[in-house]
Chain A
Amino acid sequence: MLFGRSGGDMQWCLSQAKGSLDDDVTEADIISTLEFNHTGELLATGDKGGRIVIFQQEIENKRQPQYRSEYNVYSTFQSHEPEFDYLKSLEIEEKINKIRWIPQKNAAHFLLSTNDKTIKLWKISERDKRPEGYNLKEEDGRYRDPSTVTSLRVPVFRPMDLMVEASPRKVFANAHTYHINSVSVNSDNETYLSADDLRINLWHLEITDRSFNIVDIKPANMEELTEVITAAEFHPHQCNTFVYSSSKGTIRMCDMRASALCDKHSKMFEEPEDPSNRSFFSEIISSISDVKFSHSGRYMMTRDYLSVKIWDLNMESKPVETYQVHEYLRSKLCSLYENDCIFDKFECCWNGNDSMVMTGSYNNFFRMFDRDHRWDVTLEASRENSKPFQVIKPRKVCAGGKRKKDEISVDSLDFNKKILHTAWHPQDSIIVVATTNNLYIFQDKMN
C-alpha cells in the first residue's frame, strides 16, 4: 500500500493474463462486467454467456516490500440463463450487465448480479469441513437399519477439500420493462437501486415481490422520448442521495427524503456545450456512459465518449476537471457513427484514495490520469507487448502529421479491440483491465 506516489512514478507490470489465447473470440466468453469487492480480495467478472467467475487474491510473501499478488479462480457459476419473452417474441439476453458486492457481514460473500431484466442475489460460501459419523446414516447417505445400531456416537466435523458454493438467495424479477443498466447498493446495506433506460427502482435486499419506483422519465407519449437514463449510483455515505446520468450529458442528483417519487432533482450537473465544437454528433458524444462517486463522496466522475469529467458535488455548473481520453477521435466521429463505435459504453474507475482515475479506449489501450500531479499515461493490454514482471511501456497515438517511431497513427487503431471495463483494487496498486475476452492484471512494481 503506497499512497502518495505520483502516477508518473508508478511502474506497471503485467502480473497475469487470463483467458483464451485464440484470436477467435467465443461470443459467450466476452467479459461484460468487472468488480472488486470492498477489500479487493475478490474480483468478480461477468460475461455474455451469463456466467460469473470470481477470482481470489493470494498474496505471496506479503512481508516483503515487493510482493506479488496472484488472482486465482475461486468460484464459477451460471448466474443467468437466456430467457424468451413470449409476449413480445423476444429473447432476453443472459449477458451480465453489472455485478455489485454487498459489504460483508459474515463468513459468506454476497453479490448482486443482473442481466437486462432480472437481478439476483448470490451467496458465495466456503465449505471446508463436513460432518462424519452419523448414527442413522452411512457415509454415503444411505439410511442404516435402526436395528443394527448398537452404540451411539457424536458426529464430528472433519476437514475436506475446500468447496466454494454459489447459491441464489433472492431473485428480483419483473420490475423492469426496459434494459437494466445499473445496480447500486445503498450505504445502509439494506436497500439497493436498479436502473433501466427510463426508470429507477428501489428494493429491499430481503424483499423480492415489491419494489418502489423512485424515478420515472418515461413520457406519456413515447413519441416525445428524447432522453434516457444511462447509469445510476447511490452516494457512498449518504443513504438518501443518489445520482443518475442521461444520454444528453446531464447528471441529476436526487434526495429520497424530498418525496417518494424523485422525478424532481435536487441538483442537476451539466456543462454548457462548447459552440465551436458543435456538430451533428455533439449530443451522441455527450451521452454519459458511466458515473462513479469517489470513495470520499466529495466528487463524482462521469465518462462520455471522448472524455472523463470530475465533478464537485457542490458545483453544478461545470466539472472541476476534464481529461481527454482520445481527443484524436473527434475528427473521425462520422466513421465511428457509421460503424456504431460511437455508441460504445466505456466505464471508468477511481483508485483507492481518489488520486487517480482510469478508463479504457480502443486498440486495447487504457488511460490513467493522476489528478494531483496533472499527469496521464496511455498503456496497452496485450500479451505480445508485455512480459511478466517487465514494466510496460507507455503508448502514444499520433493524431496527425509526422508519426514518430513507436507511435501509432489514428488510422491504424483497431476499433474492435476495445477496453470497456476496468477496475482498480480498493487498497493496493493493482489494476484489472478487460479486453474482449481476456483479463489483464497489472501491478505496480513497488507495490
Chain B
Amino acid sequence: MFPKGTKRKFSDSGEEPVPSGEQGQPAPSAAARTLSSSYSLQRQSLLDMSLIKLQLCHMLVEPNLCRSVLIANTVRQIQEEMTQDGTWQIMTQALAAAQCPADRLVATEVLCRQTDMAAQAGQSPKPFSVVGLEEGYHSEEVVMDGDGDTEVTMSTLSTVSPQLSSASYLPGPFGMGPCWEEEEEEGECEEDEEEDSEECVSEGEEADRDHLTGDSRTGEQVFGTFEIKHPAPPPDPALEELFSDVDASYYDLDTVLTGMQSAPKMGPYDLLESLSSHGPTALSSSTSCRSDLNELDHIMEIIVGS
C-alpha cells in the first residue's frame, strides 16, 4: 500500500518481462520497457481470446478440428514466447500464490472427442485443449466484466500487474512492428473480449457442470483447465482493508499523474462499466477505448500495489 500521492517506483528487473533473446544485456531504456509491456498486454489478450475460443465449443455438433488445432497452435506459440520471456513463470507463480491452491500445470492434453476412448466412454464433446493452464488464469478474464466478486477479481489482477511497469507506462501508440496489429484493433479486441468472457464464463460453467457429471476425471481435465472450478475464495482481509482506504481524491491524483486531465472523475468500476457499454464495432474502433484500458490497468496497479 502506497502513501497517497506517491507514484509507484519502477519495479525490480525480476518482475519485468525481458524482451526475448536479450538476457545478458543492460536494462532496456524506458521506451523499450514501455513497448514490451504494451506488447505483453497485446499478447496476453490474444492468449485470452484464444483460450475462450477453445473453450466455447458447440455442444451439439463436433467442433471443427482444423480450427481447434490452429487456435491451439497459436496458444502454444504464445506460451513458448512467454516462457522465453520469463513472463509465463511469473504469471503462473503469481496466480498460484494469489488465488487458488497451486494445482499442477496440466500437461498438454488433447481431448478430442473423436478418440475411441472417449467414444466408448460416451463422452460429451470436449474442446481441443493444448496447454493446460491453471484455473486462476482464466479467472483473470472475469475482471474485465466488472461484475461479480470484485475482491477476488481485484486480487487476481494484481498478480498480473507485475508485468507492467507503472512508472514508465504511458498510454501511447503500440507500433509494435510486424507482430501486431494497429492500435485500433487492439482496443476493439479487448472490448469484445470482455463481452466474450462474460458469455464464456456462464456457458463454460454450464458445460462444466454437465461434463463433470460424466467421467469426472476427463471432464475436469478439459474444463478444469479453463474454468473457475472453485467458487470464489473468501476475500482476503488485507485486500478489503486496502479498498476501504481508497477514496475519490486518490483517483483524481491518478488521472492527473497519467495525464488524463480532461477525463471525468471516475473510479475503476465506472471505467469498466463505460467500457462494457461499448457495443462491438466494425473493424475501426476508437483509440480512446484502448487507452481507457491502459488507464484502468494503471489505476489498478496503484490501488492494489505490487
Binding site for B on A (CB under 8 A): 87-93, 116, 177-179, 197-198, 222-228, 230, 247, 276-281, 283-284, 287, 331-335, 337-338, 340, 343, 410-413
| A88/B73 in contact, CB under 8 A | no
The answer, yes or no, to whether B192 is at the interface (CB within 8 Å) is yes
Would you call B118 and A276 a contact (CB within 8 A)? no
Q: Given contacts A178-B114, A343-B64, is CB(A227)–CB(B69) below 8 Å?
A: yes
CB under 8 Å from chain A, chain B span 79-135: 107-110, 112-115, 118-120, 122-125, 128, 130
Known contacts A178-B65, A410-B283, A334 near B70 by CB under 8 Å: no
B186 at interface, CB cutoff 8 A:
yes
Asked whether B179 lies within 8 Å of A279 as measured between CB atoms, the reply is yes
Q: Given A177-B114, A247-B69, is A333 in contact with B283 using a C-beta cutoff of 8 Å?
A: no
Considering only CB atoms, which chain B residue lies closest to A247 in the complex?
Answer: B66
A222 contacts B178, CB within 8 Å?
no
B164 within 8 A of A: no
- B273 within 8 A of partner (CB): no
A331 lies within 8 A of B182 (CB)? yes
Residue B200 lies at the interface, judged by CB distance under 8 Å to chain A: no
A117 to chain B: closest residue by CB: B62
Is A338 within 8 A of B189, CB to CB? yes
**Interfacial chain A residues near B74, Cβ < 8 Å:** 280-281, 283-284
Neighbouring A residues of B193 by C-beta, 8 Å: 338
Task: Specify which of B77, B120, B125, B283 lies most central, judged by the most chain A CB atoms within 10 Å of its CB.
Answer: B283
Known: A226-B69, A227-B69, A279-B179. A91 touches B61 (CB 8 A): yes
A98 to B247, CA, bound (A): 64
Sample (30) of A-B pairs whose CB atoms are under 8 Å apart: A87-B119, A87-B120, A88-B118, A88-B124, A89-B122, A90-B62, A116-B62, A179-B64, A222-B110, A222-B115, A223-B109, A227-B69, A228-B69, A230-B66, A247-B66, A279-B179, A280-B46, A280-B77, A283-B70, A287-B66, A331-B185, A333-B181, A334-B180, A334-B189, A338-B49, A338-B189, A338-B192, A340-B53, A343-B67, A412-B282
> Given the complex of chains A and B, what is the CA–CA distance between A333 and B181 in angstroms?
7
Minimum CB–CB distance from B111 to chain A (whole Å) comes to: 8
Complex alpha-carbon distance, A198 and B118, angstroms: 17
A418 to B67, alpha carbons, bound, how many Å?
18
- Least Cβ–Cβ distance between B108 and chain A, in angstroms: 5
Q: State A340–B54 Cα separation when bound (angstroms).
A: 12
Q: Which 8 A-B pairs give the minimum distances between C-beta atoms? A: A222-B110, A334-B181, A411-B284, A197-B65, A223-B110, A334-B185, A223-B108, A343-B67
With known contacts A197-B66, A222-B115, A411-B282, A88–B185 Cβ distance under 8 A: no
Residue numbers in B under 8 Å from A335 (CB-CB) = 181, 185, 188-189, 283
